[in-house]
Homo-oligomer: A and B are copies of this chain.
Amino acid sequence: MINWTTKTERWGIFELAAGGPETGNPFKEVSWTAVFRNSGRMFHAPGFYDGDGIFKVRFSPDLPGAWTFETSSSEAGLDGLAGSFDVTEASPGNHGPVRVANTFHFAYEDGTPHNSIGTTCYAWTHQGNELEEQTLDTLAEAPFNKMRMCVFPKHYDFNHNEPEMLPFAGSLETGIDFERLNPACFRHLEKRILELQKLGIEADIILFHPYDRWGFAEMSPETDDFYLKYVVARLSAYRNVWWSLANEYDLFPNKTIGDWERFARIIMDNDPVSHLRSVHNCGAFYDYSRPWVTHCSIQRTDVYKTSENVTEWRERWRKPIVIDECTYEGDINHGWGNIPGTEMVRRFWEGYVRGGYMGHGETYMNPEEVLWWSKGGKLTGSSPARIAFLKRIAEEGPGQGMTPIPNRYGVDWDVAVGGQEGQYHLYYFGFFQPSFRIFTVNPAWTFKVEVIDTWNMTVEEVPGTFSGTFRIDMPTRQYMAVRLRRV
């Protein structure tokens, strides 16, 4: 058999399926790739074995029009297959994969800005349909547009349930077969990635993580590479995929920087879409200046000062700063998971006004030990509503993202100010509680002024217009912002 998608849309998924050998180890013993051509351009996409004698190649075309494909394989029956397909314009809501834009920011490939607001459910696709569907229902009502999630299941506090499926064949009881993958587990993962895509959520796929009882964190380099090529071949055609090489790359006992660099090379060689790529730390940062790193994926390394460092990190790496872990809202015993909503929202704002992107997670204890940060389920914290409010404020802001506004008059040493200088200035006062503020801006500019309560989610316009040095009364409360918009 052979069949393929004869018509798809720009940034949709083309899939070619063909029958091939079931004997031996088709995961390892059959090579299978395809070349895709359009308008004189050419892309290579690796294929993969999907079980039951079926081999597949997927590809996400980046332009509308007529495309052709042609396969190569070590197997005669899979070699030289060729055909063509039509690609239509993208349907509404399909903006393509997310790219770096304007050095520090993101935009979808069609140019639409992407204001990354992540959350984290590390092992949510390993929890069974009931909980996974609850997670999707929660996400449908939440402000998040990126999900940090692992391919492998998770072994850790509050995470001792055995998943229904593993990415490799076999099981803990019968022994895991590191020579064969488990296509059913990946089909399930893909279904969830597609459901996220329909919700407008990017899937930040964590390829390796250290919280493990199955042996996935300590596989041989050959098995790591075998697994990685398979994942990339399967997932790269999903436009909402980002590659996160690791959660906490520095906690693997047996992996070196050389391993991570090799993984990055494998991804780049096998991902014709060139999805975003990064790697996440526990202690020391990865060297984000490496050319393959598209953006910084940061876990805060200081217990106290987190997103306030965005300004410094932007200058250091000149790439988008995504703080995927600034500590989670919750009340567990660990200091990475017990800040209140007020502090989570404060960290979001401190990062946002500086031109960074923050990630959320929630770790409130409950008798079922279903904590959002790993299993998904329901959100009970106070930060998501305020993060939605911030998202609304951001949508009203400059499309190209927030740029730090310099302290030109020496008076703003104590406040983060971002926006687009001369047009839009957003001041965030964090834990300070001024009863008034003296602002100084270029006297050639005239602004409307609004006082924003980021916690109570109100925006109040101050009557009149303002220029030069002027005083604005404020309510002696924490978590206030002031927005200046040029008249």
Contact = CB atoms under 8 A, between A and B. Distances in A.
Contacts of A435: 331-333, 338, 365
Nearest to A305: B305
**Residue among A336, A339, A430, A434 with the most chain B CB within 10 A?**
A434
A343 B365 CA distance: 26
A476 to B, nearest CB: 4
Contact of A334 (B334, B335, B336, B414): B414
Contacts of A397: none
B434 A331 contact: yes
B414 A335 contact: yes
A271 interface: no
A338 B429 CA distance: 10
A224 to B, nearest CB: 27
Contacts of A332: 434-436
Interface string A461-479: 0000000000100001010
Nearest to A365: B435
Contacts of A438: 333
A478 B343 CA distance: 10
Given A340-B478, A478-B340, A432 B305 contact: no
A434 B337 CA distance: 8
Nearest to A478: B340
A50 interface: no
A131 to B, nearest CB: 22
Interface residues of A, number: 31
**Residue among A338, A415, A436, A437 with the most chain B CB within 10 A?**
A338
Contacts of A343: 431
Contact of A340 (B302, B431, B437): B431
A409 interface: no
A333 B434 contact: yes
**Residue among A415, A433, A471 with the most chain B CB within 10 A?**
A433
B436 A333 contact: yes
Contacts of A305: 302, 304-305
A338 B434 contact: yes
Nearest to A414: B335
A332 B437 CA distance: 8
A46 B476 CA distance: 51
Contacts of A308: 303-304
A323 B304 CA distance: 17
A120 B442 CA distance: 36
A338 B303 contact: no
A304 B336 CA distance: 19
A340 B480 CA distance: 13
Interface string A388-431: 00000000000000000000000001110000000000000011
A82 to B, nearest CB: 58
A383 to B, nearest CB: 13
A436 B364 CA distance: 11
Given A305-B302, A478-B340, A335 B413 contact: yes
**Residue among A305, A413, A432, A471 with the most chain B CB within 10 A?**
A432
Contacts of A304: 304-305, 308, 430
Contact of A433 (B331, B431, B437, B476): B331
A349 to B, nearest CB: 13
Interface of A: 302-305, 308, 331-336, 338-340, 343, 365, 413-415, 430-438, 471, 476, 478
The 7 A-B pairs with the shortest beta carbon distances in the complex, nearest first, are A335-B414, A331-B435, A331-B476, A305-B305, A338-B434, A338-B432, A304-B308
Given A333-B434, A333-B438, 16 more contacts: A304-B304, A304-B308, A305-B305, A332-B434, A332-B435, A332-B436, A333-B471, A335-B413, A338-B432, A338-B434, A338-B435, A339-B433, A340-B431, A340-B478, A365-B435, A365-B436
14 contacts: A302-B305, A303-B308, A304-B430, A331-B434, A331-B435, A332-B434, A333-B435, A333-B438, A333-B471, A335-B413, A338-B434, A338-B435, A339-B432, A340-B431
